[in-house]
Amino acid sequence: MANLGYIGLGAMGGQMTSRLLDKGHRVTGFNRTKSKADWLVERGMTWGTSPRDVCRAADVVFIMVTNSAALQGVAEGPDGFLAGLAPGKVIVDMSTVSPAVSRAVAAQVREKGADMVDAPVSGSIITLQQGKLSVMVGGRQDTFDRIKPILDDVGPRVTRVGDNGLALVMKIATNLSLAVQMLAFSEGVLLAEKSGIPRETAVDVLTHSVIASPMVQYRGPFVLKMPDEAWFNVNMMQKDMLLALEMGRQLDVPLPTTAVTNEMLTAARGMGLVEQDFATVFNVLAKMAGL
C-alpha cells in the first residue's frame, strides 16, 4: 500500500482515484469543487484542503488538470503543491499540457529535492474501468522504476518513452489521431446515410469493420446518441489539437488532417456545441451535409 495524493478529481481523475483505492492504496485528494469528490470521500479517500496539503500528506502525488494554466495554478502560490514538497517526494502529472510548461514545473520541483514525471494516459473512462488504460511516462529512469508498480495499478501498459516532456509529445501525437479518426468515421457514416443506409446500420457495420480502432468502437456509437456528460469535450480536444499544430510548426512536420479537424472543432464551438464530447464533429458535418 502506497501513501498517495491526487489533485484534480474530475471524470478521469476521480475514476483513477477510485481505482487506486480499490487497489488498497491510501489516497489524499483535492478538487477545486469539493462536491465532485464527495463520493470518493465516502469510499475512503481523505480530503485535502489544498494542493499544498495533499503534497504534504503524500509520498507520490498524481495530478490531472485541464491545461497548462491549470497545472501552473495548482503548482504555484502559498497553497500550491510546490509549497508542500519535501525531498524524496514525486509528482506524477497525468494532465495533457504543453511539454515546455511541464518541463518548467519539473525544474521547480527538482529545486525542492523532489522529482516529477509527465505521465499522460491513452484511453477513456471505459478503458480505465476495464483495466485497459495505457500510461506513457517522461522522466528520469530511477524515478520511473520507483513509481512503476503504482502506475501498473492504473493500467496494464506502462511505458517510459524518454526524458521529461516526451510522454506529453507522445500523448499529443496520439490525441490528434483520435479527432482525425472521428471525423473520418463521421464522413463514412454520412456518406452511407445519404445513400439510403440507416445510420444505425452504417454505425454497426463500420464499428465491426477493419477501420474499427478501439476509439471508433467505443466512441462511434456517440453519433447515434451523444453522452449526457462529455468524456472529452470540444474545448479539451481543441487544446490538444492546437498543441499539436504548434509542435508541427516548430518541428517542420506538416499536419494537414489535424488542421482540417481543428477547423471542424472551431465550427462546433460556433454552433454552441463546446460542452459536448468531441465526437460532435459528426453533428457539425451532418449539418453541413443537410441532415
SS (H, E, C) the chain: CCEEEEECCCHHHHHHHHHHHHCCCEEEEECCCHHHHHHHHHCCCEECCCHHHHHHHCCEEEECCCCHHHHHHHHCCCCCHHHHCCCCCEEEECCCCCHHHHHHHHHHHHHCCCEEEECCEECCHHHHHCCCCEEEEECCHHHHHHHHHHHHCCCCEEEEEECCCHHHHHHHHHHHHHHHHHHHHHHHHHHHHHCCCCHHHHHHHHCCCCCCCHHHHHHHHHHCCCCCCCCCEHHHHHHHHHHHHHHHHHHCCCCHHHHHHHHHHHHHHHCCCCCCEHHHHHHHHHHHCCC
Quote the pLDDT of residue 16.
Answer: 93
147 and 18 within one domain: yes
Residues 57-75, mean pLDDT to the nearest whole number = 95
Q: Which single residue is written with the C-alpha cell 446518441?
A: 225
Last-in-domain residue among 137, 162, 187: 162
Active site residues: 171
Q: Which CATH number covers residue 98?
A: 3.40.50.720
Last-in-domain residue among 138, 162, 186: 162
Phi/psi of residue 134, nearest 5 degrees: -115, 145
216 and 110 within one domain: no
Domain extent at residue 54: 3-162
**Residue 4 pLDDT exceeds 90:** yes
256 and 118 within one domain: no
Overall domain count for the chain = 2
What is the pLDDT confidence band of residue 214, given thresholds at 50, 70 and 90?
A: confident
Task: Provide CB contacts within 8 A for 149, sequence distance 6+.
Answer: none
194 and 71 within one domain: no
Spatial separation of the C-alpha atoms in residues 170 and 208, rounded to whole Å: 27
Quote the pLDDT of residue 68.
Answer: 93
Residue 165's Cβ-count burial label (10 Å; 0-12, 13-18, 19+) is: buried
Average pLDDT, the chain: 94
154 and 235 within one domain: no
What is the pLDDT confidence band of residue 132, given thresholds at 50, 70 and 90?
A: confident
Last-in-domain residue among 113, 134, 162: 162
Q: Quick one: CA dihedral 192, 196, 202, 203, positive or negative? A: positive
Tens digit of pLDDT for each residue in 138-158?
999 999 999 999 999 988 899
157 and 27 within one domain: yes
